């Protein structure tokens, strides 16, 4: 009987938990609703076709924080153990990470950590300070850098708002609620300049899509960038992005991140509470 495979698995686990714990890691929080969690390739809302484009393939330099707060090599679907009760498929996260690595060059020994937090079908009000979703996001963000000064939260990638297009009051209040969410999150993470890259809606559950988009595109907070998903092909449900669209979105998010860091890399402060250096 060959005992080499269990031993290799054990060594890989130790490498991920110990080896990467001492490495520098750029961390990105992924939050919002179903199009961030990923529905690319999901058929009839129940079955994922398993198709992983080259841009979304696993890479030893890209890790994810699991639901049990363990670092592991990231793979699709990124939100499998996070967006429970839903069938997850391809989202923008791995395409984003692979594109950042491609642009920066993998020779720089860069490790990227993805922290999936998105939940399908959620309104912005369900992410307000004190809610279970907000508390879990903060908890996972803090855990991602805990006890290691080499880990740095670089940005929040946010794609949400489709559920706020049903009621006009929700759509009109979106901008205020989003601004409050960002300010609260920055305060609770002690990251006053945290980069937020939000996605402007490509679709919605209701008829007030343009009102939500106006709120998204009109946010005036500093260090908040917007990537527009409008025009990206949708699945037949007219709500979720296709796998190919998710790849394009991930690449757009990567380019927005690179452009932001290129202009702001010289401003640095230390976050004592989270024991990490943060570049704003």
Which sequence positions are flagged as catalytic?
Answer: 34, 237, 240
In this structure, what token pair is assigned to residue 57? 């393939």
For residues 177 and 112, give the distance between their C-alpha atoms in angstroms, rounded to a whole number. 29
Contact call for residues 74 and 94 (beta carbons, < 8 A): yes
Cα end-to-end distance, the chain, whole Å: 54
Residues 6+ apart with CB under 8 A from 68: 81
In this structure, what token pair is assigned to residue 201? 């809606």
For residues 87 and 121, give the distance between their C-alpha atoms in angstroms, rounded to a whole number. 13
Nearest in space to 17 (alpha carbons), one of 77, 83, 68, 82? 68
Nearest in space to 33 (alpha carbons), one of 212, 186, 168, 188? 212
| CB half-sphere exposure, 109, CA atoms < 13 A | 3
Q: What is the dihedral of CA 121, 124, 129, 131, to 10 degrees?
A: -20
For residues 118 and 168, give the distance between their C-alpha atoms in angstroms, rounded to a whole number. 23
């Amino acid at each position: 009987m060959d005992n080499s495979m269990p031993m290799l698995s054990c060594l890989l686990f130790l490498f991920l938990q110990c080896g990467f714990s001492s490495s520098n890691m750029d961390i990105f929080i992924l939050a919002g609703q179903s199009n961030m969690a990923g529905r690319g390739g999901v058929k009839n809302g129940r079955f994922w076709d398993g198709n992983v484009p080259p841009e979304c393939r696993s890479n030893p330099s890209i890790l994810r924080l699991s639901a049990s707060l363990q670092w592991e090599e990231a793979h699709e679907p990124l939100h499998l153990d996070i967006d429970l009760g839903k069938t997850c498929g391809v989202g923008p996260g791995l395409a984003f990470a692979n594109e950042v690595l491609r642009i920066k060059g993998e020779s720089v020994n860069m490790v990227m950590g993805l922290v999936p937090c998105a939940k399908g079908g959620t309104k912005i009000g369900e992410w307000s300070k004190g809610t279970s979703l907000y508390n879990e996001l903060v908890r996972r963000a803090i855990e991602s850098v805990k006890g290691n000064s080499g880990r740095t939260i670089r940005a929040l990638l946010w794609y949400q708002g489709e559920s706020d297009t049903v009621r006009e009051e929700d759509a009109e209040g979106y901008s205020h609620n989003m601004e409050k969410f960002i300010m609260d999150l920055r305060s609770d993470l002690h990251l006053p300049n945290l980069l937020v890259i939000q996605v402007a809606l490509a679709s919605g559950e209701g008829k007030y899509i343009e009102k939500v988009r106006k709120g998204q595109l009109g946010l005036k907070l500093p260090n908040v960038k917007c990537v527009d998903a409008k025009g990206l092909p949708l699945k037949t449900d007219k709500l979720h992005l296709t796998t190919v669209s998710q790849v394009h979105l991930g690449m757009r998010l990567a380019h927005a991140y690179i452009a932001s860091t290129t202009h702001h890399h010289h401003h640095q402060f230390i976050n004592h509470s989270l024991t990490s250096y943060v570049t704003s």
